[in-house]
Amino acid sequence: MNKSVHAQILYLANLLVLPGISFVLLALQYRAIVWKPRKGAAKSKSSKIRDVLDLNLDDVKDLKKRRVIETSVSQQELDQSHTRVAFLLSMIGGLSVIGGCSTIYLLMEHSTHAWPMIIVYFTIMHTSFVLWGMVNLAQAMSSRLPFFKFF
C-alpha cells in the first residue's frame, strides 16, 4: 500500500473509528513526508511538488490530456499531496465542527433549542468530510491527484 492511500485511510479512520490515535499517526506521516522531506531531495524538487498542488485541471476539457498530466506526477509528489490534503482537511474539519457546534450553543444562549440545531449541524458537517475522504481515497487508489486542493 502506498503512502497516499495510507494517508487517506488514516483520515477516514480519524473521522470514523479512532479519532485521536489516527490523527496523531496522520500528523507523524505529515511530518515525515511533507514537513521534513528526505535528506537526499533537492530544493528544486520541493518547489516542483508545490507546483503539483497548484495544477488546475478544471480547465482541461479533454480527459486524455488530463490523464497525461496526472501520470506525469511522480509517486513521491502524489504521496505528499495526498498527505497534505488529508492532514489539512482533518484540521479544518475538526475546527469547523467543534467551532460551529460551540458557536451555535453560545448564540442560542444555552437554551434547549440549540441541541437539535447542533445535532443537525454536526451530522451534515461530519458526513460531508467523510464523503470528501472517500472521494480522495478513491483518487489515491487510482494514483490520481486529490480533489479539494483549496490550500
- Per the structure, the complete domain to which residue 50 belongs is given by 3-141
Residue at grid coordinates 508545490? 50
11 and 25 Cβ atoms separated by less than 8 Å: no
Residue 147: inside a domain: no
Residue 150 lies in a domain: no
Q: What is the per-residue pLDDT for 27?
A: 93
Total Cβ atoms within 10 A of residue 93: 20
Look at residue 100 and tell me if it is in a domain: yes
What's the pLDDT at 79? 87
Check residue 110 and give its pLDDT. Answer: 74
Q: Looking at the domain assignment, is residue 151 inside a domain?
A: no
CB atoms under 10 Å from CB of 67, counted, come to 13
Q: How far apart are CA 121 and CA 101, in angstroms?
A: 7
Residue 125 maps to a domain: yes
Q: Under the phi-then-psi rule, with left for phi > 0, alpha for psi from -120 to 50, and beta for the rest, what region is 74?
A: beta
In a domain, 83, yes or no: yes
**Global pTM value:** 0.79
Number of domains in the chain: 1
DSSP label of 37: -
Give the pLDDT of residue 71.
72
Give me the half-sphere count of Cα atoms (radius 13 Å) on the Cβ side of residue 64.
0
- Helices 75-107 and 43-53 pack at an angle, to 10 degrees, of 50
Intervals of the chain under pLDDT 70 = 37-70, 148-151
Percent of the chain topping pLDDT 70 = 75
Q: Is the separation of the CB atoms in 34 and 53 below 8 Å?
A: no
Is there a domain that residue 85 lies in?
Answer: yes
95-120: pLDDT as tens digits: 999 999 999 999 998 788 889 999 99
Report how far residue 105's alpha carbon sits from residue 34's, in angstroms, rounded to the nearest whole number.
Answer: 36
Structural domain includes residue 95 = yes
What is the structure's pLDDT at 57? 58
Res 63: pLDDT: 63
